[in-house]
Structure 1
Amino acid sequence: MTRKLFGTDGVRGRANSDPMTAEMAMRLGAAAGRYFRRDGRNGHRVVIGKDTRLSCYMLETALTAGLTSTGMNVLLLGPVPTPAVGFLTRSMRADLGIMISASHNPAHDNGIKFFGPDGFKLSDEAETEIENIVAGQIRPAEPQNMGNVRRIDDGRGRYVEYAKTTFPARQRLDGMKVVVDCANGAAYRAAPDVLYELGADVVRIGVTPNGLNINHGVGSTHPEAAAQAVLDNQADLGICLDGDADRVILIDEKGRVADGDQLMALMAGRWAEQGRLDGGALVATVMSNLGLERFLDTRGLRLERTKVGDRYVVERMREGGFNLGGEQSGHIVMTDYATTGDGLIAGLQFLAAMAETGQTASELVHQFDPVPQLLKNVRYAAGSDPLAAQNVQRAITSGETRLNGTGRVLIRKSGTEPLIRVMAEAEDEIMLREVVDSIVEAVENAAA
């Protein structure tokens, strides 16, 4: 069956529009409940977390109704980061974890992500089975077997305590001033608390959610706010999280932005020196910069590339026995500590490197010179396929020919929005712009 609901990271869309409606959320909850209660036993439990979007109230209630109707006991965590859901699903011995969030997307979007009992995101196969159940008749539980609901008041606190254990026990952040931008999202209380309790002087921005301002002008997709706060407050580091805190972008003390590739390079190099880098490889996606690959090569390390999406990074890590991976966009996956990308814990590992080495953020964060990279997005009408047009294919082939041996072209559809992402890398920046612009023009004409 062709997947229609699930994308690269769960189910996502505009709130109160298909598929992000209360009706669909209830069916998804019921289908997930039926999938995890295939053995017919009672007592199965699911934890549900959410970010700060207004629509989370509606979706949380609808999911709860669907889950309890098929016999699942529901534990409500309230606003917590996505990695907290992965952690608490496993910690609380739940059969299923659900996070309600559209990550870095604006407030009018929302999404539903599923985690298995091991705390990792569900496989494509499991999501396809749930989608099949959604499309059919969902058998409800008998009245005596319906599920119950409890609110877990200390879910955030449990995650805060765990996050602190990932920071070296003998170190503190005394004397460090850290700007943390929580994107008015799920980590608006947890992240500042962790940094404060470890001794940092914390400057907080993006910590006043109102249901509609998540990711609006703040967070990892808008790091300029944190960069200015770093300069204004003479801070040592800026940590920018996204709406559900599973990704991070860093700001050095000079206000310069560093993406996930630079942080992964630092961690891979340090872990290799310490004998901690399992498999001698870093797992990243096709979007990671060619400069990262060259950096690893000079150290005798490998870059394993996957499709875009942190779930595919994690799948490859588990298949190959690797413990470090991530995405240029800031998902940093360290399976020694977490089952999914965790922006806060990644930020803590960078702070630990600063504390251990005595080096500044600017000295640590620039690990390699990136190959010039240009990415442009083209929006298209849902249901259409601009990439199938002959003029688009000709433009792509022409671009690849021009860059042959000096760069690369990557064209793909977004897994979360109706966008065609046109990316290329090349040492010659003039040629780079010409190649990208010619492909973008072809895609725009096909999408018109």
Structure 2
Amino acid sequence: MRYLFLAALTCALPAFASQWQAPPAEKAELYAIGNAASAERIERDITKLVSFGTRHTLSDTVSDTRGIGAARRWIESEFKRISKNCGGCLEVITVTDTVSGKRIPEPTEVVNVIAIQRGKTDPQRVVMMAGDIDSRVTDVLNASADSPGANDNASGVAGALEAARILSQYRFNGTIVYAALSGEEQGLYGGAILANYAKQQGWNIDAVLNNDMIGNIAGINGVIDNRTVRVFSEGTRYVETEDEARLRRFTGGEVDSPSRNLARYIKKAGEQYVPNLDVMMIYRLDRFGRGGHHRPFNEAGFPGVRIMETWEHYDRQHQDLRTENGITYGDTLDGVNFPYAAKLTNLNAVTLASLAWAPAPPADVSIEGAVSPDTTLKWKTPAHADKLAGYRIYWRLTTDSEWRYSRYVGKTNAYTLNNIVIDNYFFGVASVAEDGSESPVVFPGPAGAF
């Protein structure tokens, strides 16, 4: 009888184990993507962008060799070249509007160049990498002086082009957009135009990776650092309502906006798949008192972050080309470290690929467990959940910056963590694909909803 009991138990174990067997913890293709960017190609692209003399938003749009018009037409031609090499996998378009404002005294057409790599099963779910085309010197209205903009921000545009070369060799469930935005130095106009277009198109944007200066490793204080990168993210959603803020006061979420959990996702992916890279999360929308092109997307309700070098050299930003008192000013090619720009491009590429392969984040995540020793989370299956294996619950101490604990719970829409008190931790849920790809973690309630 004992033998029969053990035999029956042994037969039952595989079925039980398979019910709870978690997908793989890593995806092999991401290691290749994390090493794929070419410093030589990035150098070539930055050199070409610098060759246009100036890319100021108000500069020449007719010339084939100088000004922002020539620059954006070259970017468009490069995206089309990349698309040709992948059998037409990219849809290359321009998204434009005519604007005027404090730094644009006369009505001016602001033109964004974007390449769209449509997803196979969930094309309305979008992740985006963006860089800024335009450059400037000391006087923000000086559209005629030479303004190389090698690091700020030819490096970001070159990164977007290189990421398109890498990722266009793969196919994804979600859509990837590679964007070269205009009008950043004049007031973040290009980002606002594209964010509005995204809403009109019904895009469900899960991530905007704004790359603004990704090529400098030498700080103005003498520090040399090619290993770290900063990721800036807003703490609470800009579009939060009064009622949502009132709820957040009692349930938490001040450091768990979708943008903040996107930053955590970038850190996890980058440090796993990109060699010799440490990702520093900055709990701030942007550098102190300053702005970038992810902000218009945040203001439209989309998760977005700024990715950039850790150490800045202010003599090389927004400066007339000159030498004074033995100090050389200006944003020129000699201030760009191309292998470092390639490394940060790899960070973007693995993040975009992981997000686009993963299922959509779970919807309507809620939590309960007040005056109880247990915590229960509930959620809804996202639309287009192809290849969905199940879900993983995450939790961390309220003082931790990263998710510390997790449990794969299978294909269910509710789970109770026994003897884990809701008061002592922050919680979230991620969707998990059969190949191990995961969505960002979703914090319960409107504070964390994607």
Normalising by structure 1, report the TM-score. 0.28
Q: State the structure with more CA Rg.
A: 2
What is the TM-score of this pair, normalised by structure 2? 0.28
Q: Which has the higher strand share?
A: 2
More helix as a share of residues: 1
Specify which structure has the bigger relative contact order, considering alpha-carbon pairs within 8 angstroms and separated by 6 or more residues.
Answer: 2
